[in-house]
Chains A and B, each alone.
Chain A
């Protein structure tokens, strides 16, 4: 019997009402449209996709900041949708978030000490000043923040330092799962490396699970052990990280990986790139059949009408494609392997 997942998402949907133009009919944006996955304790699970694929909405649903249209979310085996307000609050001490933008996610009028300690005030924890100071110092140490920062305000710090404060705040309640929505995408690369190393160290030390939301495959590869690739509100492929990078099965994953520039000119000269034609279609009018078919170079007639389900053809490796996965492929398709 395998252990209980810390997070389980089943058939999750979130639809928003929208108008595509002033005089046009009402429409529905299917931001998340039938997503299922689970995250095990101490696992780092990534949701990867391009803008508009629904990954941020998915994060908000998991954090119970949005109510799902359909489907359920189980946190430590309990249905989040059925929780009372008090239960939700209690859950939130075990489920924390790190935001993308370290500039807008810290209150400019609070000191670093107040920002990090605010979760304790909200949850009525560690009221003893001596104990609080001790915990605060431990968090600063863990997150690589100098003690002299405590009485200063966010504007005095650079992006990387602010993100460390945001991470310390997320850790204050000793959560078990952290949802991190693009936590390093606003940072310069040398600072990004510092923060990624920090997230890795903290995961070991605090036995954390991460739900890591990102558009950046290189970052995900470094940090995460399992990956779900999203396209237009759906998960099109999930696999463990090594398998996904070495043997992608969905045509979208394959093209996405081939589009990522590699920081090595020798590799860049050798590799072939699959150029996807066109843009991501509007989520207001997703294409019929397989949502990826208008941009897919393997598409056949049936792709235009039938919508493939996510099929776990190999243990732990699932793809939603009727044509490509797990079959003999043209040799030039295996571009990602060197």
Chain B
């Protein structure tokens, strides 16, 4: 297997204010191989978007603070990179598309100019070359009459076309890693199908590795090779997509998968997970953050925080039940010592 293009190790990103500390991301580790798609799934407040923003150094600091971890891009730690070098990576080798295509495009710049911007900046092309490249990219992402639409403003594009334009910007420098944060959540389902198909086609062409952040379990099933399930800021389970759906090991993953309605079967009742996710700003949770809602929690789950256990097939689960079944604590994913500056 090829070496990973991106490795995240024990990442912790906290928001520190005078009143309280919110541990928005509190332990996530994974490897992303070239050309693969890793889905990060979790509900609101699970830390999936904050984790993505920390990869690109886009978190406002303060109040945010990366308190531990490494983000290795082609072997180099993005967290330790000087700002000028990080700028050369961001938008160039690692690009991002956001959920809301209207607010992430500049309304007073023509779509073509926004695509050309990255090309001029990172590839040192002339304005004319960059414009030609913008037209080519718009054609690639399926915008009709790209030579005319290149001069449109974002408001002249529909929601689906805006997301296509965002993808064109993100792919303009043929990045090694594309981070897509809920790229289809704001779109209708027929448009979502178009955009997901487009991402798959372009991934094949450019061999881009994709980090797909989503709450939609159906999208995970369609797109992902590997999955990280997040809960309350932590990665609670990591597995290849087929294994995860066939045999989920963490009780939260089991609950999450069972609670999703499907168009293929009509269940009399959905298996809801009782209760609410914990408030991450209300102080430290002793024990496992899922224990209060967990159907199989034992006494120890409420007092001792479970470490991450490695399972066969490159899987991981952060649940004491795995230890009882003979799994070993992982060392690779152990929290990184000390706090990074």
Residues of A within 8 A of B (CB): 50-51, 158, 160-161, 188-194, 196-197, 200, 215, 217-219, 221-222, 241-242, 245, 255-268, 273, 275-276, 278-280, 336, 338
Contacts and interface: CB of A to CB of B under 8 A. Distances in A.
Given A197-B270, A261-B216, A267-B221, A218 B43 contact: no
A200 B241 contact: no
B63 interface: no
Given A261-B221, A265-B242, A267-B221, A158 B190 contact: no
A29 to B, nearest CB: 16
Nearest to B270: A193
B257 A188 contact: no
B266 A261 contact: no
B104 interface: no
Nearest to B196: A261
A314 B261 CA distance: 28
Interface of B: 43-44, 144, 158-161, 188-194, 196-197, 215-222, 224, 241-242, 245-246, 255-257, 259-264, 266-267, 269-274, 276-277
A295 to B, nearest CB: 8
Contacts of A273: 193, 197
A263 B248 CA distance: 13
Nearest to B227: A265
B257 to A, nearest CB: 7
B189 A266 contact: no
Contact of B190 (A161, A219, A241, A255): A255
Nearest first, the 8 closest Cβ-Cβ pairs linking A and B are: A261-B218, A193-B259, A193-B272, A259-B193, A188-B43, A193-B270, A50-B188, A194-B272
B221 A268 contact: yes
- Residue from A190, A191, A338 whose CB has the most chain B CB atoms within 10 Å: A190
Contact of B264 (A191, A196, A262): A262
Nearest to B266: A221
Nearest to B157: A279
- Residue from B188, B220, B269 whose CB has the most chain A CB atoms within 10 Å: B188
A196 B270 contact: yes
A190 B197 CA distance: 27
Nearest to B191: A279
Given A161-B276, A221-B263, A261 B219 contact: yes
